[in-house]
Amino acid sequence: MHSEAQPAARTPLWRNAQYRRWFAADTAAAMGMAMKSFAISLVAFSLTQSLALSGWLGTATMIASQGAGIFGGTVVDRHDRRTLIIINALCGMALWGLAFALLALNLLNFAAFAVITVVASTINGLLQGATNAMLRSIIPTEQYPKAQSLNQGRDSVISLAGSPLGGVLYTFAPWLPFAVSSLMYALSGASATRLADTGNGDHGDNGEPPAAHGSFLADFAAGWRWTLRRRTLLTLTAIASLVNLGINGIFATVNLHLVGTHVDAVRIGLVEMAMGAGTLLGALIAAKVADRMPLGTGMVVVSTVALATLAPMLFSDGYAVVLVCALLVSVPIPVVNSLIMGFVFAKVPSDMQGRAGSALGLLCMLPALFCSAIAGSLLPLVGFGATIGLFLAVLAVNVAIVLAKPTVRSLPAADRWDEVTL
């Protein structure tokens, strides 16, 4: 079993049976999430006829997921990761199956729907890190950038197709997206049961028994302590958080501006589709270059491209300009995501994968959580151009940081990551 969990570097990904099972489980879960996500706001509004309540439900689910994710990494590192993947899938199947059944029987009210949604988001936030953490025991380090690029390409396809398919299902019956979501989670759990039991990853590299854990709080604190002492990781995290803040802030501004100027929903949706198309193109590129491109080069590219491709919106809010910018800015993101996540995968010890991943994920995304609030507050006061200018300034500061940091620019490609000190 050990030889299957740690295939030789020369073994192609798709010839690794463990990876194929892992990919099937992860893909089914991603499809399940896409199906139910589209329908949540529509069902919430149909139950309440209140945009405010529908919006607050979306906010509550994000808070629940992010809040649970803070502790999720510690849970992932303390328990068998295959078991956690299966539990997450079973909970998704049960909760969204319950939503489907209550809705189909006309027994669903907003309070029950809110409880189902928030509980499902909390469980998913707590356990979802087990999937990526388990990869450490399935594929060798040098294959991770390619695996991540494949994941991002798949996610782009699901993102492009998810909303239209969810809309078609919802048109037939409001409960149908939840029924399909429940089925997808069931398939995810069934695929995960065929994964080899690799424990919490502590013995994935050397076959030794896992180290004894302390208390939950001690492990939680140890994860943050370990992460906050790694200067290279923190520098990469700071750069990623600025890129996330700048890009997400600009497109939150674009979305609110289009809504405020009464652009129809189809054209607003095309902006997200343009970003999905750019991400898919980037994922195809990442599959070819991610295992050879130096990480430092990728950081310079994504930082400068983000600033350059979004700068035209400082001068024009034309719809065609917005679409082109959305397409172009998304292309390098999968390449850099593959490099950063591969670097973390390679450099973080197996028994710290979950905790480091949740800590770094929170630090990367925390500023971006406030993008909509910032954009919504500034747009009525200073207008579109000035609000865009603020977020472009964030991206400009990021470019200056990247160019001023030789330790970032010199980060090598995957075959030399063992030479880098965190």
**What band does 2 get if pLDDT is binned at 50, 70 and 90?**
very low
H helical segments located in 6-109: 17-48, 51-78, 81-104
What's the pLDDT tens digit per position in 13-32? 888 889 899 999 999 998 88
What's the pLDDT tens digit per position in 295-316? 999 999 999 999 999 999 999 9
Angle, helices 144-172/265-289, rounded to nearest 10 degrees:
160
**Three-state SS at 419:** helix
Average pLDDT in the 55-73 region?
80
Res 380 pLDDT > 80: yes
Residue % of the chain over a pLDDT of 70: 90
Give the single-character DSSP code of 208. P
Average pLDDT in the 43-48 region?
82
Query: Both tokens of residue 357?
Result: 């991943």
The answer to whether the CB of 189 falls within 8 A of the CB of 93 is yes
Q: What is the pTM of this model?
A: 0.69
CA dist 102 and 117 (Å) reads: 13
What pLDDT shows up at residue 197? 64
Distances (CA, A) of 372 to 44, 247, 256, 358: 21, 12, 8, 23
What pLDDT shows up at residue 6? 45
Distances (CA, A) of 414 to 19, 145, 343: 20, 8, 7
What's the pLDDT tens digit per position in 397-414? 999 999 998 888 999 988
What pLDDT shows up at residue 265? 57
Nearest one of 421, 350, 289 to 140, comparing CA atoms:
350
Question: Mean pLDDT, the chain, as a whole number?
Answer: 83
Query: Both tokens of residue 260?
Result: 């405020």
The answer to whether the CB of 342 falls within 8 A of the CB of 144 is yes
Res 72 pLDDT > 60: yes
What pLDDT shows up at residue 220? 87
User: Which residue has 């406030």 as its token pair?
Assistant: 370
Res 322 pLDDT > 90: yes
Residue 12: what are its φ and ψ, rounded to 5°?
-60, 150
**What band does 389 get if pLDDT is binned at 50, 70 and 90?**
very high
Domains, in order of start, for the chain: 2-213 (1.20.1250.20), 221-419 (1.20.1250.20)
What pLDDT shows up at residue 349? 83
State whether the Cα torsion 186-192-197-199 is positive or negative.
negative
